[in-house]
């Protein structure tokens, strides 16, 4: 009963905060400077990670680039140097905890403390549950979820000591809504979104308000990971568009970045619409992509 009374007493604050949020819609938020910040990006040898590295390079950050692909990561680093930034490349298997910790120690010794961590490395298998091999499921969680724990445990202590830093979680819209034939991927991305939310609350509990968090949840991106994707939500996203939204989210310290922004509206609808109507709506969305299907429906 006391809790309900407290909630009622907070209603005036709710109105004030709604009004504040509405006013902020018309006032562009100032972007913070990342010049000189040491930025580590996992999965920087291609796709979103590579383009994100280029954007930080343009802003004169010092870049530490990780990827399992030696050729890809060296190519990214070379282009970042052409853009005028210091860039260091490391071949790291983010699914291997000891490799992550050993590489992190090397980074801290040779380059310095990381102040912006972008957990971007990811892997996806497009198949139903029965066609997804056990090692593939384990690999999916190792890269898409557990790696976030290892990198954050390695680099967060110095951020907490200075009460300064930013941790970015690259998740997916598939971490907000389940998609058939992406069971392992969706599960791992739901966990990544949960990691972001819980980490944010834990930093608040420690009163480390100088450490910011951002989570990116995009729809299908034209990076080649998923073959022939399509849906009625609109055209497949180009990587440049997604990275533009991500960088804006980081520089304005936005906690959740959904791309396209219409995903915000759809998620609100899902919370309030009846289940049967939601099922019809999902069929209208008509998500399709190439997948391996092992289960055979009996006729």
Label each residue of 59-90 as H, E or C.
CCCEEEEEECCHHHHHHHHHHHHHCCCCEEEE
Interatomic CA distance for residues 209 and 218, integer angstroms: 26
101 is annotated as an active-site residue: no
Please measure the distance between the N-terminal and C-terminal CA atoms of the chain and give it in whole angstroms.
56
Per-residue pLDDT of the chain (299 residues; tens, 9 = 90+): 576 666 666 667 666 665 666 566 667 778 899 999 999 999 999 999 999 999 999 999 999 999 999 999 999 999 999 999 999 999 999 999 999 999 999 999 999 999 999 999 999 999 999 999 999 999 999 999 999 999 999 999 999 999 999 999 999 999 998 899 999 999 999 999 999 999 999 999 999 999 999 999 999 898 888 888 887 777 889 999 999 999 999 999 999 999 988 888 777 777 777 888 777 777 777 788 888 887 765 54
Interatomic CA distance for residues 80 and 89, integer angstroms: 11
DSSP structural state of residue 127: B
What is residue 134's predicted lDDT score, i.e. its pLDDT? 96
In sequence order, the 6+-apart residues with CB closer than 8 A to the CB of 188 are 140, 141, 143, 144, 145, 175
Interatomic CA distance for residues 126 and 4, integer angstroms: 46
What is residue 61's predicted lDDT score, i.e. its pLDDT? 97
Q: Is the pTM of this model over 0.85?
A: yes
What is residue 138's predicted lDDT score, i.e. its pLDDT? 97
In sequence order, the 6+-apart residues with CB closer than 8 A to the CB of 73 are 44, 45, 65, 66, 67, 89, 90, 91
Residues in the chain: 299
What is residue 17's predicted lDDT score, i.e. its pLDDT? 63
Among the options 54, 88, 125, 185, which is catalytic? Answer: 185
């Amino acid at each position: 009963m006391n809790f309900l009374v407290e909630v009622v007493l907070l209603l005036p604050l709710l109105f004030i905060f709604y009004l504040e949020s509405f006013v902020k819609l018309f006032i562009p938020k100032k972007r913070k400077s990342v010049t000189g910040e040491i930025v580590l990006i996992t999965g920087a040898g291609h796709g979103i990670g590579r383009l994100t590295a280029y954007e930080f390079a343009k802003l004169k950050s010092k870049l530490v680039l990780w990827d399992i692909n030696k050729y890809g990561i060296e190519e990214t680093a070379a282009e970042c140097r052409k853009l005028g930034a210091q860039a260091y490349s490391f071949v790291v298997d983010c699914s291997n905890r000891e490799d992550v910790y050993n590489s992190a120690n090397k980074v801290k010794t040779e380059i310095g403390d990381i102040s912006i961590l972008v957990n971007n490395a990811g892997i996806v298998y497009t198949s139903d549950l029965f066609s997804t091999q056990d090692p593939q499921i384990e690999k999916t969680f190792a890269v898409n979820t557990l790696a976030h724990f290892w990198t954050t445990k390695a680099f967060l202590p110095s951020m907490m000591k200075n009460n300064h830093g930013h941790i970015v979680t690259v998740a997916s819209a598939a971490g907000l809504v389940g998609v058939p034939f992406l069971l392992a991927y969706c599960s791992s991305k739901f966990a990544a979104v949960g990691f972001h939310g819980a980490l944010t609350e834990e930093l608040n509990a420690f009163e480390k308000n100088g450490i910011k968090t951002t989570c990116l949840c995009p729809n299908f991106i034209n990076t080649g990971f998923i073959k022939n994707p399509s849906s009625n939500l609109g055209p497949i996203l180009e990587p440049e568009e997604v990275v533009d939204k991500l960088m804006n989210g980081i520089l304005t310290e936005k906690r959740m970045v959904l791309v396209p922004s219409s995903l915000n509206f759809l998620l609100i609808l899902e919370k309030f619409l009846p289940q049967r109507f939601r099922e019809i709506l999902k069929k209208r969305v008509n998500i399709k992509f190439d997948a391996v299907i092992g289960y055979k429906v009996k006729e």
